[in-house]
């Protein structure tokens, strides 16, 4: 008889509340120091995250579906087989309005060009972050389709 699948709870929380809460066999995300994957019984960890994609691999009962979530950075904590991601914003791939994300990308590129022309480093940095967020949302949307 095969061992039962070992699952843990994954919660993604933003200031708007819980965005995602499901059981998983593995969760993957990008920490500031590189890619991370966490499985059942992983040692406790707390690490800051960058703008990126979170992949949550679901159970065999769910045909090992993978949920893709775009996050704007934040923190990842794992303890007692509960993974919690706290982010300023998070959006499941199926909920991303890709035309809105593309418009945000275009605006960010325009603001970057204006900031470069005016030698405004602070505005340039804000526009670069906005661009990374928009590109991430588009990428996560495309990875799900």
> pLDDT per residue over 8-55, tens digit each?
999 999 999 999 999 999 999 999 999 999 999 999 999 999 999 999
Q: Where are the beta strands (DSSP E) in 80-142?
A: 82-86, 90-92
pLDDT of res. 145: 73
Mean pLDDT of the chain: 93
SS3 15: coil
Nearest-5° Cα angle at 65, 56 to 28: 20
pLDDT-derived band at 62, boundaries 50, 70, 90: low
Alpha-carbon separation of residue 85 from 10, 63, 76 (angstroms): 8, 24, 5
CA distance linking residue 135 with residue 61, whole number of Å: 32
pTM reported for the whole predicted model: 0.89
Mean pLDDT of 99-118: 96
Judge whether 73 and 53 are in contact, CB under 8 Å: no
Q: Is the pLDDT of residue 76 over 50?
A: yes
Write out the two tokens for 135: 């590109």
Q: Is the pLDDT of residue 3 over 60?
A: no
Buried b (16+ CB within 10 A) or exposed e, 17-35: eebbeeebbbbbbbeeeee
Q: Is the pLDDT of residue 2 over 60?
A: no
Type and span of the H or E element at 72: strand 66-79
């Amino acid at each position: 008889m095969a061992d039962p699948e070992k699952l843990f709870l994954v919660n993604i929380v933003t200031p708007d509340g819980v965005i995602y809460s499901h059981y998983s066999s593995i969760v993957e995300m990008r920490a500031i120091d590189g890619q991370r994957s966490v499985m059942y019984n992983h040692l406790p960890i707390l690490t800051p995250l960058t703008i990126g994609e979170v992949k949550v691999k679901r159970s065999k009962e769910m045909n090992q579906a993978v949920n893709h979530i775009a996050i704007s950075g934040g923190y990842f904590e794992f303890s007692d087989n509960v993974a919690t991601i706290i982010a300023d914003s998070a959006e499941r791939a199926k909920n991303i309005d890709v035309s809105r994300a593309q418009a945000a990308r275009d605006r960010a590129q325009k603001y970057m060009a204006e900031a470069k022309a005016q030698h405004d480093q602070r505005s340039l940095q804000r526009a670069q972050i906005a661009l990374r967020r928009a590109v991430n949302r588009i990428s996560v949307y495309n990875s799900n389709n």
